[in-house]
Amino acid sequence: MSDKTASTTAKTALTPATHTTPPAKFSHGVRKGNILQVAGQVGFLPAVEGQAPTPAGPTLREQTLQTLANVKAILEEGGASWDDAMMVRVYLTDVDHFAEMNAIYNQYFEEQGLKEAPAARTTVYVGLPKGLLVEIDALAVLG
């Protein structure tokens, strides 16, 4: 196998400088070839050495915008952008947040200048740590 073939098929874990090292054996994102999977992200502010992760705020808007920024940081760490995102999955803790989430999501991607919207799905999920309202993951294909 040539070096070029080996490098395009190697699996690379992604942890941007803004993120803490995961507390268990998982990665914030993984790239293999032209596929990049972003693990579920929440609305924690950028990491501060020696401090526990801190939510961006108590509101859905604050947490969603920070969560999207965290997903974007991992995409960029792996050489991708939102335009490479094929699928975005949103997990909410409250069914009543659907309309607000959709408005925040639409405005965010309009401001990002997204050429084509990725496929997306939103699920209500009640298993997030106390105080967290939203989790988002993404799948990107580069090139």
Q: Which two tokens stand for residue 39?
A: 């693990």
Say what the pLDDT of residue 8 is.
57
- Which of 134, 118, 138 lies closest to 126 in space, CA to CA? 134
Please give the helix or strand (H or E) that residue 77 lies within, else none: helix 60-77
Say what the pLDDT of residue 7 is.
55
pLDDT per residue rounded down to tens, the chain (143 residues): 444 555 558 999 999 999 988 778 889 999 999 999 999 999 999 988 888 889 999 999 999 999 999 999 999 999 999 999 999 999 999 999 999 999 999 999 999 999 899 999 999 988 888 899 999 999 999 98
- Buried-state track 52-78, b at ≥16 Cβ within 10 A, e below 16: ebebbeeebbbbbbbbbbbbbbbbebb
